[in-house]
Amino acid sequence: MTMAVLEAAVMVVLRDGADGREVLLIRRKERAGDPWSGQIALPGGRADPADLDRRATALRETEEEVGIPPTALVGVPEFVGTHRPGNRLDLEVSTFVAHLRPGADSLVAAGPEVQSTLWVLFPGLTTVHEIVDLPGGRGRLGVDGYRRGEVFIWGLTYRILSDLMARGFATQPAGPGPAPPG
């Protein structure tokens, strides 16, 4: 018997800050039954039947969660691969990368599912091993992740950012790319 695969997409939004390349992260709101409740994540979510493809899912979710419309991104978001969360092997997450247009910072605002947004300096993130409390009182787990002050980035977000860092996204310049959709 084959397991049905749910589809989702996330957007890695980058900008060039005063100290180097930064990545936009969200802190998810605390919600009962949410396996990622309160965690640091990338904007994104499950595909909607009305989405034309996973890129459309990533764009829609990015606008819903952090207020960034497709026109505020440089070019068309680049597809960089898929991952599966360790706690949801029936979920396939497509990852897209886009650069925020200069001057579009004022558009970033936490949506209804997001507690807060934060920009984190991307280059130089260093892996650490920490013990985390799993949401919903499911115990504690030793995991690798990135620590930036009070922020601990682990799980799927850590794996995606690690992959992108290894591929040079932490430092490569934003290209003009094709015009944004719609």
Contact (CB, 8 A) for 69 and 106:
no
149 located within any domain = no
162 located within any domain = no
Give residue-wise pLDDT tens across range 140-160: 878 899 988 888 898 889 999
150 located within any domain = no
Q: Give me 117's structure tokens.
A: 């947004």
Query: In this structure, what CATH number is given to the domain that contains residue 50?
Result: 3.90.79.10
Q: What is the mean pLDDT of the chain?
A: 85
Give residue-wise pLDDT tens across range 36-83: 667 899 999 999 999 999 999 999 999 999 999 999 999 899 999 888
34 located within any domain = yes
Q: Three-state DSSP class for 40?
A: strand
Residues in the chain: 182
Answer whether residue 124 shows pLDDT above 60.
yes
Give the total number of structural domains in the chain. Answer: 1
Q: Which residues constitute the domain of residue 66? A: 6-124
Which residues does 28 contact at the CB level (< 8 Å), separation at least 6?
34, 36, 37, 38, 39, 40, 41, 113, 114, 115
Residue whose C-alpha is closest to residue 120's, from 151, 98, 97, 81: 151
177 located within any domain = no
pTM for the whole thing? 0.86
Answer whether residue 176 shows pLDDT above 60.
no
Q: Give me 74's structure tokens.
A: 């440089």
